[in-house]
């Protein structure tokens, strides 16, 4: 007899692996071991199973090669992103296509702005509690986006004080609840980017999106020279 508790634990661990890959990918086995608190053998087993299922795919890991097994970094496939999504993509796409046919592009734009306004309203207080520092507000945005299911993370980029490089924070979203709809309706991404600018009080720049086939949504958040990026 199969123990249902064992099956449930396996499923939960699989979801944890998917979530970390979505948030930090491309990510190697060593990092997954650290994040998940599992043995390397267990992590490799889960990753291999996810690969067979078509939910993750390997890329050559950056950095020096070591002897033995070639180093690989893992990212989610389209199927992996769908496995994390709870949205009704087909229904949402159908509804937006109907809206565009009957109300035109302006109706789609109005919907995108209305949708992101709800997100902005829900998380504004969290950012306000972080004060005026852009980097701290970005950290607060990461926390709020994770609560909304976006698998967000942030890291500092650039060298403070350098004259030739921009300094700021790179905001990444490894999962987007409306990824597949946004590939057809970029208004959703554009409205979200504008909301981030308003929430953070600076003009942010979207560098990559899941909707365009990138493995993560990446947004550059500039920080004033008087600030030091957190982390």
Q: Model's pTM, two decimal places?
A: 0.62
pLDDT of residue 227: 52
In the structure, what pLDDT confidence band is assigned to residue 216 with cuts at 50, 70 and 90? confident
Sequence-ordered list of residues with C-beta below 8 angstroms from that of 133, at least 6 positions apart, any chain = 227
Q: Using pLDDT thresholds of 50, 70 and 90, give the confidence band for residue 111.
A: very high
Residues 6+ apart with CB under 8 A from 69: none
What pLDDT score was predicted for residue 3? 44
- CA gap 126, 145 in Å, rounded: 11
Contact 83, 17 (CB under 8 A): no
Whether 61 has a pLDDT exceeding 70, the answer reads no
Is pLDDT of 127 > 50? yes
**31-35, 120-124, 173-177, 201-205: which has the minimum mean pLDDT?**
173-177
Dihedral pair phi/psi, residue 22, rounded to 5°: -65, -35
Q: With CA atoms as reference, report the closest residue to 60 among 32, 28, 18, 21.
A: 28
Q: Is the pLDDT of residue 52 over 70?
A: yes
pLDDT for the residue numbered 26: 87
Backbone phi, psi, residue 48, to 5° = -60, -40
pLDDT of 151 reads 81
- pLDDT given at position 198: 96
Task: Report the chain's mean pLDDT, rounded to a whole number.
Answer: 82
């Amino acid at each position: 007899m199969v123990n249902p508790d064992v099956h449930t634990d396996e499923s939960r661990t699989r979801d944890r692996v998917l979530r970390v890959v979505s948030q930090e990918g491309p990510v190697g086995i060593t990092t997954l071991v650290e994040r998940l608190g599992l043995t390397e053998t267990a992590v490799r087993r889960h990753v291999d199973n996810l690969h067979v299922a078509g939910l993750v795919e390997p890329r050559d890991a950056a950095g020096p090669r070591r002897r033995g097994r070639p180093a690989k970094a893992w990212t989610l496939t389209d199927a992996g992103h769908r496995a994390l999504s709870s949205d009704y993509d087909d229904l949402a796409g159908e509804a937006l296509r109907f809206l565009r046919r009957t109300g035109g592009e302006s109706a789609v734009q109005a919907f995108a702005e209305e949708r992101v306004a709800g997100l902005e309203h829900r998380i504004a207080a969290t950012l306000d509690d972080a004060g005026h520092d852009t980097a701290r507000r970005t950290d607060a945005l990461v926390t709020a986006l994770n609560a909304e299911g976006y698998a967000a993370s942030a890291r500092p980029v650039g060298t403070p004080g350098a004259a030739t490089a921009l300094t700021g924070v790179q905001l990444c979203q490894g999962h987007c609840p409306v990824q597949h709809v946004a590939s057809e309706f970029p208004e959703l991404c554009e409205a979200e980017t504008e909301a981030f600018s308003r929430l953070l009080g600076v003009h942010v720049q979207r560098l990559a999106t899941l909707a365009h086939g990138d493995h993560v949504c990446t947004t550059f958040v500039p920080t004033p020279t008087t600030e030091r990026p957190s982390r």
